[in-house]
Amino acid sequence: MTAQPPASLFIDGRPVEGEGAALPVRYPYTGAEIARLHEASAAQVAAACRAAAAAQPAWAALAPAERGRVLARAAAIIRDRNADLSRLETLDTGKPIQETLVADWESGAAALDFFGGLAAGVTGQMIPLGRDWAYTRREPLGVCAGIGAWNYPSQIACWKAAPALVMGNAMVFKPSEETPLGALKLAEILIEAGLPAGVFNVVQGRAEVGAALISDRHVAKVSLTGSVPTGRRVYAAAAEGMRHVTMELGGKSPLIVFDDASLEDAVGAAMLANFYSSGQICSNGTRVFVQDGIRDRFLARLAERVRQVKIGDPLDPETQHGPIVSPAQADRIRAMIAAGQAEGARLLCGGPGAGAFVPPTVFVDATDAMSIARDEIFGPVMTTLVFHDEDEVVTRANATGFGLAAGVFTQDLTRAHRVVARLEAGTCWINAYNLTPVEMPFGGVKMSGIGRENGAAAIEHYSQIKSVYVGMGGVDAPY
Ligand SMILES: NC(=O)C1=CN([C@@H]2O[C@H](COP(=O)(O)OP(=O)(O)OC[C@H]3O[C@@H](n4cnc5c(N)ncnc54)[C@H](O)[C@@H]3O)[C@@H](O)[C@H]2O)C=CC1
């Protein structure tokens, strides 16, 4: 099985081999090397940024609708090739093919379509001032750097590229070193769809390559999807050059299940909120607060359904739960499970697993102070916590530095909206969880991030306003 791309990087409209250190790509299910890439050298990072800066003005000069049409064509190509692209995504990430077929490139295509269609409708303001008047233009930022995480590599590349490009920016994208393949496909597809050379470039590499990229003098904006510690470093480096930032970082989100919730829906959502993509999702509701009246029924049904999850070969369409992205990440998850047990929490189901796999795992008898209830695990580990009343659960749900997402399950809609209004989270779900349509802005508050992806809100994060004052009469100078 091989997935070797034509070359490791994509600069100025063509594949270019990396001049830096080797970057082996392993299929998480077998550990087999499926491709061998090379990092970009410092000179290649600079060349990618120069190519982007050179290509950007002509791209920005096109009518927004023309840029939109390029994105729409790219979306159509992605949909045509979804089967092959999804297979590649599964090889790169280890996620089950039944997920990648519907959630990865498909969501990327949706973003390209959505922003492609939005472009022509972005307008400025006309501000009457009596005799004189002013107007605003929404202009591109220039060259944007995109840096991705490994859980949704192609979706992340599309979510960043679509609003950036449609607003007339150019982009240099660095995928996670764990999952470098999808972004190269996106670069090829965009060229095929008519994107001018240099407008979207891909460099590969580990943290140092990312650091070189964000401090390149051409870069006006940095959009990162990654962990909070990386976010802190990247935000600080961006501040040096007064660059704009979007930070999509980690979370430890609460999912609150009230006594009156539909049991099947709440259990299903709690599973989706913890086990989809083997739990490697930033917005996961990993602290499941269950009200005392429904607790026993909830845990009994949860255990029953978790035991039926089909774990195995990600390319088997029946498989619902695949391996963890890398042995190092699987070890980190196991250490967190062991810490939970050492602190006195009990396993309702699951456990450390073996090899590449960590099974869906549920903790009971946990307290808010335990590490499994405080720290992001980024694996298939759910911590259930019991609560008694609404005020108490809101206070406990908010008692975290993170603020990415939250969910509420109840049949009492007044309560649902009241609780959601009090939750400190950028994205909330009522009687649903982890649905992220591109029409809806997505992002975090507190340590979980800055800025928003998706929705019309993303346009603001990939453009800047120029104000133009128009004098219609003489200049009244006191000199
Ligand atoms: N809010 C969101 O939308 C999402 C957030 N995440 C978060 O991402 C994390 C998991 O992904 P990982 O890839 O492990 O994150 P990570 O923080 O280790 O790496 C993210 C990216 O940043 C790069 N990087 C690392 N250090 C850098 C530096 N000093 N300068 C520039 N670039 C640097 C990495 O090479 C990688 O491409 C979790 O915390 C998760 O919650 C993941 C998906 C979505």
Q: Mean of the pLDDT values across residues 226-241?
A: 97
Residue 425: C-alpha distances to residues 75, 255, 422 (Å): 31, 11, 9
User: Ligand 1: distance of its center to the CA of 451 in Å?
Assistant: 16
Q: Is 120 exposed, middle or buried, given 0-12, 13-18 or 19+ CB atoms closer than 10 A?
A: middle
**Ligand 1 close to Cβ of residue 404 (< 6 A):** yes
pLDDT at 164 over 90: yes
**Ligand 1 close to Cβ of residue 250 (< 6 A):** yes
**Ligand 1 close to Cβ of residue 149 (< 6 A):** yes
pLDDT at 1 over 90: no
Instruction: Give just the sign of the alpha carbon dihedral 372, 378, 384, 386.
Output: positive
User: Ligand 1: distance of its center to the CA of 414 in Å?
Assistant: 37
Residues constituting the chain: 479
**Ligand 1 close to Cβ of residue 216 (< 6 A):** no
**Ligand 1 close to Cβ of residue 332 (< 6 A):** no
pLDDT at 309 over 80: yes
**Ligand 1 close to Cβ of residue 378 (< 6 A):** yes
pLDDT tens track for 364-404: 999 999 999 999 999 999 999 999 999 999 999 999 999 99
Give the separation between CA 126 and CA 134, rounded to whole angstroms: 6
**Ligand 1 close to Cβ of residue 227 (< 6 A):** yes
The whole-chain average pLDDT of the chain stands at 98
Q: Is 244 helix (H, G, I), strand (E, B) or coil?
A: strand
Ligand 1 atom nearest to CA at 282: 41
pLDDT tens track for 26-63: 999 999 999 999 999 999 999 999 999 999 999 999 99
Q: What is the pLDDT of residue 38?
A: 98
pTM for this predicted structure: 0.97
User: Ligand 1: distance of its center to the CA of 145 in Å?
Assistant: 14
| Pair of tokens at residue 88 | 């590649």
User: Ligand 1: distance of its center to the CA of 167 in Å?
Assistant: 25
**Ligand 1 close to Cβ of residue 150 (< 6 A):** yes
Q: What is the pLDDT of residue 294?
A: 98
Of 285, 286, 295, nearest to 259 by C-alpha is 295
**Ligand 1 close to Cβ of residue 262 (< 6 A):** no
Atom 19, ligand 1: residue with shortest CA distance: 226
Known catalytic membership, residue 248 = yes
Q: Mean of the pLDDT values across residues 92-101?
A: 98
Q: How confident is the model at residue 429 (pLDDT cuts 50, 70, 90)?
A: very high
User: Ligand 1: distance of its center to the CA of 249 in Å?
Assistant: 7
User: Ligand 1: distance of its center to the CA of 324 in Å?
Assistant: 16
Give the separation between CA 310 and CA 134, rounded to whole angstroms: 62
Atom 43, ligand 1: residue with shortest CA distance: 282
Q: What percent of the chain has pLDDT over 90?
A: 99
Q: Which residues sit opposite 245 in a β-bridge?
A: 222
pLDDT at 201 over 80: yes
Q: Which of 23, 25, 147 to mutate to test the pocket of ligand 1 (most atoms within 8 A of CB)?
A: 147
User: Ligand 1: distance of its center to the CA of 280 in Å?
Assistant: 12
Question: b or e along 314-334 (b: 16 or more beta carbons within 10 Å of the residue's beta carbon)?
Answer: bbeeebbbbbbbbeebbeebb
**Ligand 1 close to Cβ of residue 402 (< 6 A):** no
Atom 20, ligand 1: residue with shortest CA distance: 226
Report the relative pairing of strands 405-409 and 254-257 from DSSP bridges.
parallel
| Pair of tokens at residue 8 | 């490791």
User: Ligand 1: distance of its center to the CA of 229 in Å?
Assistant: 9
Q: Which of 95, 173, 222, 230 to mutate to test the pocket of ligand 1 (most atoms within 8 A of CB)?
A: 230
**Strands lying side by side in the sheet with 132-140:** 126-129, 132-140, 463-470
Q: What percent of the chain has pLDDT over 70?
A: 100
Ligand 1 atom nearest to CA at 175: 37
**Ligand 1 close to Cβ of residue 214 (< 6 A):** yes
Q: Mean of the pLDDT values across residues 257-286?
A: 98
Q: What is residue 321's DSSP assignment?
A: B
Catalytic residue among 248, 264, 376, 453: 248
Residues 6+ apart with CB under 8 A from 282: 149, 151, 225, 248, 249, 250, 251, 378, 404, 448
Q: Mean of the pLDDT values across residues 426-445?
A: 98
